[in-house]
Amino acid sequence: MATTSYRALLYLSRRHPAAPSSLFLRRFHVGRGFSSSCAPDEFGSIGFIGLGNMGSRMANNLVNAGYRVAVHDINHDAMKIFADKGVPTKDTPLDVAEASDVVISMLPSSSHVSEVYTGSKGVLHGGKSLRPWLLIDCSTIDPQTSRRVSALVSNCTLKENKDTTKAPMMLDAPVSGGVPAAEAGTLTFMVGGEEEAYLAAKPLLLSMGKSAVYCGSAGNGSAAKICNNLALAVSMLGVSEALALGQSLGIKASVLTRIFNSSSARCWSSDAYNPVPGVMDGVPSSRNYEGGFASKLMVKDLGLAAASAKEVGARHPLATQVTEMYSKICEEGHEMKDFSCVFRYLYSGVDEHDDQRS
């Protein structure tokens, strides 16, 4: 195992001579595989594109970890927050690419990813010669877009090595854990792309999260994420429906939650992201469903799951039904509320401290 990893390491170092060899060699320990720690300066300059609820926190964790970070977002107020902390800002994605050794993006949709990478001021608009040797897109998008952009990147060469025919590498690495995990640096990354690129990028990913799972070739990280979010949407509806029913039957949500979490109904929606206001601190339900994963984004992700299922001929009755339920919430004006708001706005559940029925 160690020999195989070491050979992969040497292959990656030869393939990308522009990147310092120490960046790869220092992560390997004979008999132990790759180390998850790496000095931040060994990655060079990091460009981060997309400073929304998730991206701003991820970028901030990189800054706090000592990485040299430059940022870009179309929202100038979001960039000003970083500028006020002394973090360089860039006007366009292309400017980010020309100043960075690694580029990370965290964007709302497939169309945004296409624009950031292939638009008139996009990362790839500077021609087929790129400075960054590694590009990581953490957005939740369809696998087809991830694979298309990855293929475009693979057709480029490294600017620092004009004689080489080898290409820079791209990973699709969407995340799970939501805003609280982005804030705490405990995200889980689902990574698609070349395994060598994943191994090289892992220390960087673990500066923003607690774990990274290699899913296979390009687009597989995106595929894993939409499957994860489909399961999450279904479980949140199930937990919310059961807790609201329990309230109607005279059982406090806090009591039923303790039962769930010590028995067979336990899941992330019950024990880490409870939808009932007053049951759990530090989650969106405790702050009027603000600052979490917007319901409109869940609808978007469910749409990706349904479209992907149709493309491969897979049955998807739950994806269809759950999309309709979340779409109803959005149509009623709650599209910016965290997706756990279905407890209140779909099932008419009440806050724990307002529940007089038990």
Give backbone dihedrals phi and psi of 356, rounded to 5 degrees, phi first.
-105, 10
CA distance 343 to 358: 18
Residue 225 catalytic? yes
CB of 158 closer than 8 Å to CB of 133? yes
- With b for 16 or more beta-carbon neighbours within 10 A and e for fewer, the 167-186 pattern comes to bbbbbbbbbbbbbbbbbebe
Burial class of residue 29 in the structure, from the number of CB atoms within 10 Å of its CB (0-12 exposed, 13-18 middle, 19+ buried): exposed
CB of 352 closer than 8 Å to CB of 279? yes
CB of 340 closer than 8 Å to CB of 253? no
- Nearest residue to 159 (alpha-carbon basis) of 105, 94, 67: 94
| Residue/partner pairs of 41-44 with CB below 8 Å, 24 or more apart | 41/66, 41/68, 43/67, 43/101, 43/102, 43/204, 44/19, 44/20, 44/68, 44/100, 44/101, 44/102
CA distance 143 to 193: 11
CB of 47 closer than 8 Å to CB of 131? no
Burial class of residue 275 in the structure, from the number of CB atoms within 10 Å of its CB (0-12 exposed, 13-18 middle, 19+ buried): buried
Q: Which of 159, 225, 300, 337 is catalytic?
A: 225
Cβ atoms within 10 Å, residue 318: 16
DSSP string for residues in 68-114: EEEEE-S-HHHHHHHHTTT--B-SSHHHHHHT-SEEEE--SSHHHHH
C-alpha distance across the termini of the chain, in Å:
58
Q: Which residues are annotated as catalytic?
A: 225
